[in-house]
Amino acid sequence: MSTMWQGCLTDTDYFEMRSSGGHDYGVWVTTPPGYDPATTQAPVVYVLDGNWAVGMTAPLIVTQADPMQQIQAYVQVSVGYAGEDAQHWARLRNRDLVPPGEPIAKEIIDAVEMAIRTGRMTREEADAYLAELQETHADEFLGFLTAELHPRIERDYGTAATGHGLFGYSYGGLFSLYAWLSGNTLFESIGAGSPGVAGEDSQVFARLEEMGDSLPAAKLHLTVNDQELLGDLAVYQNLSKNTATVLHHLTARGAAVTSAVLRETHVTGLQASFLSYLRTCRAR
C-alpha cells in the first residue's frame, strides 16, 4: 500500500484476485497492531462492499486494544472490486450480493426512478443498475469467498482455523442473511446491517419456510436504523419492516440471533452497524 494510504489504513495490504467465474476483486487485508501469526493466530472477519466500507470499518481494528471494551482479535478482509469495475461497484454488488431468483421489489424500482428525477442517476446508470438485478449470483460469490479467497488468506496471513465472521450492510446484509441461511460452516458469527429484504416475496422468507426449525448454529446479529423505520421512503420502510419479520420468525424458533435499532439513516448506518456487530458477537 502506498505511503499516503498507509497513514489512513494502518497495517493494511491490498491485492487483486480474479475469481474462477472471471470477475476481478480488490481485497484489503487489515491485521491487528503487532500481529504475529507465529505466536497468536487470529480469525478472519470478512467485510463486504470494500470500495465503500473499508475506510469506515478497517480503522475499527483498534477496538482490539480498547481498555474499556475489548474486541476479540481478528484479521479484517474487505472485499470490493478492482480495475475498471471499481467505479461501478454500486451496481456490480447487485450481481454478487443478491440471492439467485430474488424478486425486484416495486419499491426498488420506484427508488431508482426517484434517483433519476432528482439527478442522482442518469437513465443509463439506472438501467445498468436494474440490469444487474435481473440475474443475481450470491451463490457464486459465496463460493468465491469460502473456497477461493479464504484459502489464500489462511495461507498468506496464518489465520486461525475457526472463529471467522462475516459482515454486510444493505444488499451486503441481504447476502449475510443468505450466507447464514445457507448453513455455510466457515462463519461462526454473521452481522447483517439493514439487510435489503425489500419485498415480502424475498427468497429469505422462502428459505426460512424450507428450513423449519433446523436453523444454523452460527450467531446472527441484525440491525436496522431508526430513520429507516420513521422516515418517509417506502423502500427503507419495507426493508426495516421485513427485517423485523425475519427477526420475529427466528426468535420464535429459538435461533441464536440478536438485534439492535441504531440512531442512523440508511446511508450513515454502516459503521455503527459494524461496531454493533463487533460489540455483540466478538467481545472478549
Q: In sequence order, what are the beta bridge partners of 164?
A: 187
DSSP state of 213: T
* Boundaries of every domain in the chain: 3-281
Q: What is the pLDDT of residue 34?
A: 87
CATH 3.30.1330.10, domain 3-281, yes or no: no
Q: CA–CA separation, 262 vs 273, rounded Å?
A: 7
Q: What is the pLDDT of residue 213?
A: 86
Q: What is the pLDDT of residue 5?
A: 58
**Contact criterion met (CB below 8 Å) for 46 and 79:** yes
DSSP state of 58: G
Cell numbers representing residue 144 in the block: 468465491
**Contact criterion met (CB below 8 Å) for 152 and 136:** no
**Burial class of residue 252, CB neighbours in 10 A (0-12, 13-18, 19+):** exposed
Count how many Cα atoms sit within 13 Å of the Cα of residue 111 in the half-sphere of its side chain.
16
Q: What is the pLDDT of residue 3?
A: 53
Neighbours of 56 (CB within 10 A): 17
Q: What is the pLDDT of residue 70?
A: 86
The whole-angstrom distance between residue 123's C-alpha and the CA centroid of its chain comes to: 27
Q: What is the pLDDT of residue 7?
A: 63
- Neighbouring residues of 89: CB distance < 8 A, sequence distance ≥ 6: 49, 51, 52, 80, 81
Mean pLDDT, consecutive 10-residue stretches, the chain (284 aa), reads: 63 96 97 90 98 96 90 97 94 97 93 94 94 96 98 97 98 98 95 96 93 92 97 94 96 94 97 98 94
Task: List the end-to-end C-alpha distance of the chain, in Å, as a whole number.
Answer: 30
Q: What is the pLDDT of residue 240?
A: 96
The whole-angstrom distance between residue 7's C-alpha and the CA centroid of its chain comes to: 25
| Report field, pTM of the whole predicted structure over 0.85 | yes
